Structure formats: structure tokens, C-alpha cells
Chain A
Amino acid sequence: MNAATQPRPQPQTPRDEAYNFAYLDEQTKRMIRRGLLKAVAIPGYQVPFGGREMPLPYGWGTGGMQLTAAILGAEDVLKVIDQGADDTTNAVSIRRFFARTAGVATTERTPEATIIQTRHRIPETPLHADQIMVYQVPIPEPLRFIEPSETETRTMHALNDYGVMHVKLYEDIATFGHIATAYAYPVTVDERYVMDPSPIPKFDNPKLDMSSALMLFGAGREKRLYAVPPFTRVTSLDFEDHPFEVQKWEHSCAICGSHDSFLDELILDDQGTQSFVCSDTDYCAQRVSQGRAGQ
């Protein structure tokens, strides 16, 4: 419980009083919280909500931002990551947005944060029970690729009719010899609803299972939200003779030397020299500060 023992980060910027706290009006935030209660009560079930216009385009995290705005309190410490990094444009902008409209403290340190908004990664540092993950989801419907009709997919969810989910995995094995789906890998939540865990790499799927943190998912364009409550069984779909596997790398991180984190490939020059570094920048920086180094 680092958040409790360490001094809480103080807000860096004062709140802009021209906006309501966290940008959205109070009625909207209540509406989203009602949706979230329902989503937590039915793990993995997609709850429709009245998505609002946000001051940035769809696909940039509007769903996640609305959820964050709805659950944000003045005491919260916010961390935003994009592709695992804290310093990319999207992450910096969203962090600054909430620092200005809600006046909350922000951090890049995973253990210090109480709310972590993310698109592509779950932090490598294990989460604890005081934390809430908020995911930005582009396509919430895992059945969409095989069944374009919305009414039909809802019926399939309602009737637990998920046979077609394995058709995609079958196609992968038939085409590539193994399950080639590397991100947005479908999972079954609490042995009932099949859920798209947003575009996280399948490397992060095992972190969803029995996690002590609350996971909230928001899709702004499709106006859906869903949730995985703490300590919920989350299993990735697979075949008996082609079990679920996560990505592995032969390399270790060039900066911190980590062997078991998710690595990004960097091309260093025109000759195609590769280098691999941790995708989670905070995890990497913490390891370096503890005196670990790569080659």
C-alpha cells in the first residue's frame, strides 16, 4: 500500500474555475456512475450510456476520459499512459486536461496513482486494491468482426451463444499455424460474458485475472462501458491443443535489462539495427533508479 505510506503528490496547477469539476456537468457524471454500478454488478456486460461530446476527437480516448471524469475526486492522483509511456502526446494532454479542469494531482509513478487511464497497457508494476484502471476502448463488441448486426450480437450475449468466437481463433491457426491474435484478445469474464479487453496486448491478459484493482472500460464513440470488478476470474479463449500463450522476447530491455516486461522494438539506423526497450516507461525508470542497467 504505497499510496498510503508515501506522501501524496500535491496538485501542480490550480483548478480552472471556468469549468465544472472534471469538465463534465454533475448530472452527466451521475448518469455515468449509475452505468458503472450496473457494469460492476454484471462483470463483462456492456452497458450503454449517454456519451457526451468531449473536446477531442473520437478515438483519442473520449470514452476513458468520461469515465475518469465521473469517478475523479479532488483527492485522487491521476496517471495517464499511452502505449505504456507517460510522455506521449495523448497521455500528456489528457493528464494536463484533468490537472486544469479538476485541479487533481498527477503522477507518472504507478504505485502513487489512484486512477490510471490507459489505452494499450496494464502497468508492469502490480496494481493494488486502492487503484482503478480506466481503459479507452475503440470497439467494445468482441463479436463485431464476425457478426456485424448489433441486435444479433446482443442476442448472442444474452443467450450465451459464443461459438463463433472460436471461429476467429480457428482461422488464425489455419492461416498462421498458431493463434496470431496479439492484441484485443477475447476473454471470458466470470465464466459468463465474452469481453474485448480493449487493445491491450495479450501479454497483459493474465493481469486481468483476479486483479485486486477495479477495471473500468469506456468506449466513447460506441457509448458503451463495462467493468471487471476486483478478484474476478478472467480467462482468455483458446483451444485444448493450442493453449493461450503470451508473447515472449529473446532480448532484454536495453535500458533496464528487464527480461519479463513487454518490450517495444526500436529501429536505430538505416541498416535496421534493432534495440528493445520496455514499453512501460515508469517501470523501466524505476528499475534504472534502483541501479539496474541493460547491456
Chain B
Amino acid sequence: MNAAQQIDRDAVSDRTQPLLKVRGLTKLYGPEKGCQDVSFELYPGEVLGIVGESGSGKSTLLSLLSGRCPPDSGVIDYRLADTHKSAGQWLDLYSASEAERRTLLRTEWGFVEQNPRDGLRMAVSAGANIGERLMAQGVRNYQALRAAGLDWLNQVEIDPARIDDLPRTFSGGMQQRLQIARNLVSGPRLVFMDEPTGGLDVSVQARLLDLMRGLVRELDLAVVIVTHDLAVARLLADRLMVMRRSHVVETGLTDQILDDPQHPYSQLLVSSVLQP
């Protein structure tokens, strides 16, 4: 067997194994406030959408998954990348040290905030925002950081001439695209997105979604995306989880859930979308 076949085989086994295994995840702030008993598996390159009404626990679930807030009970296992020294091993997120979680969050993971102001450093230029993760990983070559900045501005369709401008001089859509660039520069395998298109007008939303769909497919990212907008879910997500009052009420393929919802709440949600 030659090396190419070996790599091929590794790639196949990489794709057939889940990236993230979640079992019985619970975090309650009160009865039915928060999320409870959530279990799922996420595979490499898969986009999982979490939909539901306000207060149904979508964002709580996302912050549990991304290591920002420890759960009351339940386990999250993440399969480490091959480049990592313990390649292919499973890391139990909340029994790992805080240092390990932080390293994960700035290397193999990304988090796109709903409000770009929370995810960007507003006081430093766009180039520094994009370079920050690389610098945190030990890149100490200014030219390399500069090149990465220009390359990523291009990829997210921002004029590279604006590399030295502060993010506050950018429009809302550009800030959101900058935030995506800042997260993707380290080549993550898993990205969390919290309503990435919230607060943007419809035409900017469409452009951002188009860009995101392209990047997700091109970079083969696994994504967990929280949204209340079913159109966003339809466009991006492979699989959907419908949440209501802290429970997952229905899971399945996106088209299946949107075209043939089984749970009464899913039916309500799908039927409540206005048809222009």
C-alpha cells in the first residue's frame, strides 16, 4: 500500500468518525429554563442548525458546547486533530484543564458572535484582528501575518486596502465578515455561530450566507449554528435540532424537518414563516 492510499484511508476514517459526541447535556437556570438532556453526534464537515423560539435554550446549549459555561450534567467529547500531539484522542471538554479549552478555542475551534463587537477587538486594525490567533499560536513573522491578513480579507470579500482600518469604520456586514475571517484564519475544524446574520438587513444577510456557505464547503468545516431564522437554517444546515422549553423536540435532516415536520411545535414553527 503506498502513501497516497494510506492518506486516503485516513481521510475516510476521519470522516466516518464523529468530531463531537454530546451525551445528556443539561444546564438549567430554572424549571425548563436552559437546556436539558441534549445528545447528538457531529461529523466532520457537517452543519448542524439549532432552531427554536427565544428562551428555548439555544444559546445556553451553544455556550455549553463551546466550553464557556460548565453543564450541570452530561459529557462533551471532542476528537483532537491529527496535528495535535495526542492525535485522534477524545478530549472530555469539561474534565480538561482551562488551558486546554482555551487552546482549543483559539486553534481548532472558532466562535462567531451574534454581535461582531463582542467578537472583534474594536480598538485595533482589521489586520491585527485577523492576525491575533496566529500570534497566539506563536507566529512571530510580521510579513507572514500581513500576508494572512490580506488573503483573508480577500476571501471574505473586504477590500484588502482596508487592512489598517479600525473595525468601527466598517459596516455591520463587513464587521461580521471580518469576525468570520478572524476565526477561520487558524484553520479550525469546528465553528460555533450564534445568529451570525441577526441584525443585518436582508440583502447583506443573503450575501453573508452565500459567503458562509462557500467557505463551509471549501474548508470542510463542521458548524453548529444557532438561528431563529428558518431560511438561514435551510440554506446552511445539513441537519436541524428544534428546541422548545429547554428540550430538543425534534431532530432530523433539514429538508425533512422543514418539509415534513412531525412535532406539533415544529409544525407551528414552519407554518409561522411568512410567505411573501
In chain B, positions 68-107 with a C-beta closer than 8 Å to chain A are 98-99, 102, 106
In the complex where A146-B124, A170-B128, A174-B164 touch, is A163 in contact with B137 (Cβ < 8 A)?
yes
Residues from chain B with a CB closer than 8 A to the CB of A150 are none
Docked-complex contact A163 and B133, CB < 8 angstroms:
yes
Q: Is B135 a contact of A167 with CB atoms below 8 Å?
A: yes
Contact A170 B127 (CB under 8 A): yes
Question: Which single residue of chain A is at the shortest CB-CB distance from B99?
Answer: A159
**What does the 1/0 interface line of A159-171 toward B look like (CB < 8 Å)?**
1111110111011
- Bits for B139-167, please: 1 = Cβ < 8 Å to A, else 0: 01111011000000000000000011000
User: What residues on B are CB-neighbors of A274 within 8 Å?
Assistant: none
Which residues, 71 to 87 on A, are CB-close (under 8 Å) to B? none
Contacts of B145 in A (CB 8 A): 170
B113 within 8 A of A: no
- When distances are taken between beta carbons in the complex, the residues of chain A under 8 Å from B135 are 163-164, 166-167, 170
B109-153 CB contacts (< 8 Å) to partner A = 121, 123-125, 127-128, 131-133, 135-137, 140-143, 145-146
Task: Return A198 CB to nearest CB of chain B, in Å.
Answer: 23
A171, B124: Cβ atoms under 8 Å? yes
Shortest beta-carbon distance from A147 to chain B in Å: 9
* Contacting residues, chain A, for B146 (C-beta < 8 A): 174
Residue of A nearest to B100 (CB): A159
| Other-chain residue from A161, A164, A239 in contact with B102 (beta carbon distance below 8 A) | A161
Q: Are A167 and B128 in contact (CB under 8 A)?
A: yes
Kindly report which residue of chain A lies nearest to residue B163, judged by CB atoms. Answer: A174
Nearest-CB residue, chain A, relative to B106? A163
Bound-state CA distance A102–B121 (Å) is: 49
Please provide the chain A residues from 147 to 180 with a CB less than 8 Å away from any CB of chain B in the complex: 155, 159-164, 166-168, 170-171, 173-175
B137 near A242 with CB under 8 A, answer no
**B133's closest neighbor in chain A, by CB?**
A163
On whether A242 and B142 interact (CB within 8 A), knowing A159-B99, A159-B102, A170-B128, the answer reads: yes
| A17 to B: closest C-beta gap in Å | 53
Write the chain B residue with the least CB distance to A174.
Answer: B164
B128's partner among A155, A161, A174 (CB-CB below 8 A) is: A174
Answer yes or no: A270 CB below 8 A from chain B CBs. no
What 1/0 mask marks residues of chain A from 28 to 50 whose CB sits below 8 Å from any chain B CB? 00000000000000000000000
When chains A and B are docked, how far (Å) is the Cα of A162 from the Cα of B140? 12
Q: Is the C-beta of A240 less than 8 angstroms from some C-beta in chain B?
A: yes
Asked if A250 is at the interface of the complex by the 8 Å CB criterion, the answer is no
Q: CB distance B141 to A240 under 8 Å?
A: yes
Complex CA distance for A159 and B104, rounded to whole angstroms? 13
Shortest Cβ gap from A191 to chain B (Å): 13
Query: A145's closest neighbor in chain B, by CB?
Result: B123
Any chain B CB within 8 A of the CB of A269?
no
Partner of A171, one of B99, B128, B136, B141: B128
Cα-based distance from A174 to B133 in the complex (angstroms): 17
Q: A167-B128, A171-B124 are in contact. Are A241 and B141 (CB under 8 A)?
A: yes
Contact among A155, A164, A173 for B142, CB-based, below 8 A: A173
Residues of A within 8 A of B102 (CB): 159, 161
- Contact in complex: A146, B121 (CB < 8 Å): yes
Check A166 against B133 for contact (C-beta < 8 Å): no
Q: Are B98 and A239 in contact (CB under 8 A)?
A: no
Q: Are A163 and B143 in contact (CB under 8 A)?
A: no
Bound-state Cα–Cα, A170 to B143, Å:
10
Residue from B102, B128, B133 having most chain A Cβ neighbours under 10 A: B128
Instruction: Give the residues in chain B near A170, CB-CB below 8 Å.
Output: 124, 127-128, 131, 135, 142, 145
- Contact check, A239 vs B133: say whether CB atoms are below 8 A apart: no
Q: B140 contacts which chain A residues (CB < 8 A)?
A: 166, 238-240
Tell me, in angstroms, the Cα distance from A74 to B123 when the chains sit together: 50
Chain B contacts for A166, CB-based, 8 A: 135, 140
Q: How far is the CA of A164 from the CA of B125 in the complex (A)?
A: 13
Q: A226-246: which have CB < 8 Å to B?
A: 238-242
**Complex CA–CA separation, A239 to B142 (angstroms):** 6
Contacts of A173 in B (CB 8 A): 142
- Given A163-B106, A163-B135, A241-B141: A174 and B98 interface contact (C-beta under 8 Å): no
Q: List the B side residues contacting A160 at CB < 8 Å.
A: 99
Q: Name 7 A/B residue pairs within 8 A (Cβ), A-sorted.
A: A146-B123, A159-B98, A161-B136, A170-B131, A174-B127, A174-B164, A241-B143
Across the A-B interface, the 7 shortest Cβ-Cβ residue pairs: A163-B136, A166-B135, A239-B142, A159-B99, A240-B141, A163-B135, A170-B128
Interface residues of B (CB under 8 A from A): 98-99, 102, 106, 121, 123-125, 127-128, 131-133, 135-137, 140-143, 145-146, 163-164
* Further pairs besides A159-B102, A162-B136, A239-B141: 8, Cβ < 8 Å: A163-B136, A164-B136, A167-B135, A168-B124, A173-B142, A174-B163, A174-B164, A241-B143
